[in-house]
Structure 1
Amino acid sequence: MPPARLFEEVLKLLQAGYGYQTYMLLREYSLFQPLFPTITRYFTERGDSPMERIISQVLKNTDTRIHNDMRVNPAFLFAVMFWYPLLETAQKIAQESGLAYYDAFAPAMNDVLDEACRTLAILSASPPLFVISGSCSCACPVVRANAPGS
């Protein structure tokens, strides 16, 4: 299945009002890892890592918002899901390159999204899901900034 199609299907699964239950089933049947290999390396056997707790909480909150007829933004979900990989990658880039930690975030975002889009093409939307300077080296349609000056 093409990564762009997979992205749309993942949104349907996680943002239809039963995202938390779907996430738990994906985990139970070992289907979450192939979709998000970047994320699952932060998981533990007990399911209590900071990454697992934050994903569970954001999916529960998203389900509540949907059941209350409130809007949800897929960018928030993906920002949460890639937060810990981003922090780790930024720290690694800062240490290896001598960049300030803050300055390492832009290349770290590109690296994390590059790895993620090998499986799941994070499509641009209006407004874009992510705005990053540069491009993803895997040539997926990750980021097309609509910001002023872009």
Structure 2
Amino acid sequence: MHKRSWPALILIVILSSACFIQSSCVTTAPYDQYVYKESTSLKVDALKLMDKAEKTYNTQEKEIEKLTDQLDKLYEYELHRKKNQLRIQMWELLRNPEKNLLGGFLSRWKKEGQLSPGFITEAKIIVGKAFDQLAELESGKLTPKELQQ
């Protein structure tokens, strides 16, 4: 590396550090208590509903619809928050009926009618971790008040 490159490299490191600390460079939406509360609440509701997959899908349709409506509402809320692309992508994966998270679980339950206890247990672990990641991403954000400081 040339001697002239060092000052530029040091400046980039300093600006990157300042960007990390300062609110002017925030690349994600600020912390939202509503989103955190709803995300954690939906996790509990989803895991409880997944426990019922040993029963036939038809007997649980009202609960399934209620949960998917709640998921859709929170997803819609998230869509309108600025600088929130990562969470939107996470929600899309969680809800997608072609993937192996909640959407895929519900799709499989509907297709097969009911699911085995072993499958339910394993799927709950994966879905629970996905919800945890959503909650942790939100809880790790700065509040609007912290951003102003």
TM-score bucket of the superposed structures, by smaller chain: under 0.3
TM-score (norm 1): 0.27
Larger helix proportion, structure 1 or 2? 2
Higher relative contact order (CA 8 A, sep 6+): 2
TM-score (norm 2): 0.27
Pick the structure with greater CA Rg: 2
